[in-house]
Structure 1
Amino acid sequence: MKTIATASMGVTVALSLVGTAPAFAVGGSFHCDRPPIMEVMEQVDGSSALQSIVNQYLVRWEARNATEQCQAYADGRPYDISCMNGRRDWPAILASVPKDYFGRSNESLAAAVRDEKRKGNGLREAMAYCRSVGAIK
């Protein structure tokens, strides 16, 4: 496990929690007690800016996964609406992050962090869809 400055970790954790309200499902919940950014920090060596960017890609992956699970629910197929901690497809998530972001400093990634956040992550839309089909409250 790597060491990271407490202040930097606090900012990173706070950034990861913005806009992520728990989503409760009929048969489960996407809510996790442990913030997903903690898993990001375990998976990604690098600056807090890089971890923030990877977190955006993680949330995009989770939004796609949630949409798929809620579609399965709506179709009457087996579904798994539960916390994804420890079950994320890290090779796929990391492969989706532009390679030139890795190994760069916080300062050199500042604009990329802003750009990635502006792109959005699709989580609100995914949760709205899940609510619309009755998969979550």
Structure 2
Amino acid sequence: MKTMTATTGIALTLIGAAPAFAVGGSFHCDRPPMMEVMEQVDGSSALQSIVNQYLVRWEARNATEQCQAYADGRPYDIGCMNGRRDWPAILASVPEDYFGRSNESLAATVREEKRKGNGLREALAYCRSVGAIK
């Protein structure tokens, strides 16, 4: 049941990251970003879920930066980030004491990290407001 709960949480996180189509591209990836998390992070599914939250926060900041560049008339790169994420920066942003812990010991942390949000909706709303994506 605990594995199912973690899996459900991961699925809901991925569903929340709905595709956003850009004038010159799309932030949508055919391959779910969680697959990249699983390749980068050994450990419990709870840890992977937490790292996914930090990944989405990184993507939200990146999307905002790219849409700001679009709005300013500067070069921008609106596209799938699979294979192009700054994994050292993403992993460095995750508190060190989360690594190596069990699903049970991270359960409350997963809930807290999700409660904090990831900024993706706000980033996509900004991108829509400047016309960078539809």
Q: Closer, same or farther in 2 for the Cα pair 1:9/1:39, shift >3 Å?
A: farther
Q: Closer, same or farther in 2 for the Cα pair 1:19/1:3, shift >3 Å?
A: closer
Aligned residues: 134
Percent sequence identity is: 90
The 8 Å contact of residues 23 and 136 in structure 1, kept in 2 or not, is answered as yes
Question: C-alpha deviations, 1:24-43, integer Å up to 9, x for none?
Answer: 00000000000000000000
The 8 Å contact of residues 54 and 94 in structure 1, kept in 2 or not, is answered as yes
Q: Closer, same or farther in 2 for the Cα pair 1:51/1:134, shift >3 Å?
A: same
Distance in 1, matches of 2:11 and 2:117, equals 17
Structure 2: runs of 5 or more not aligned: none
Question: C-alpha deviations, 1:18-76, integer Å up to 9, x for none?
Answer: 31110000000000000000000000000000000000000000000000000000000
- The normalised TM-score by structure 2 is 0.93
- The normalised TM-score by structure 1 is 0.91
Distance in 1, matches of 2:12 and 2:52, equals 9
The 8 Å contact of residues 2 and 45 in structure 1, kept in 2 or not, is answered as no
Structure 1: runs of 5 or more not aligned: none
Runs ≥4 residues deviating over 3 A: 1-4, 6-10
Q: Closer, same or farther in 2 for the Cα pair 1:7/1:16, shift >3 Å?
A: closer
Q: Closer, same or farther in 2 for the Cα pair 1:9/1:117, shift >3 Å?
A: closer
The 8 Å contact of residues 9 and 48 in structure 1, kept in 2 or not, is answered as no
Shift of 1:108: 0.1
Which residue number in structure 1 is paired with residue 122 of structure 2?
125
Shift of 1:15: 3.6
Q: Closer, same or farther in 2 for the Cα pair 1:40/1:80, shift >3 Å?
A: same
Shift of 1:16: 3.2
The 8 Å contact of residues 6 and 46 in structure 2, kept in 1 or not, is answered as no
| C-alpha RMSD over aligned residues | 3.5
The 8 Å contact of residues 6 and 45 in structure 2, kept in 1 or not, is answered as no
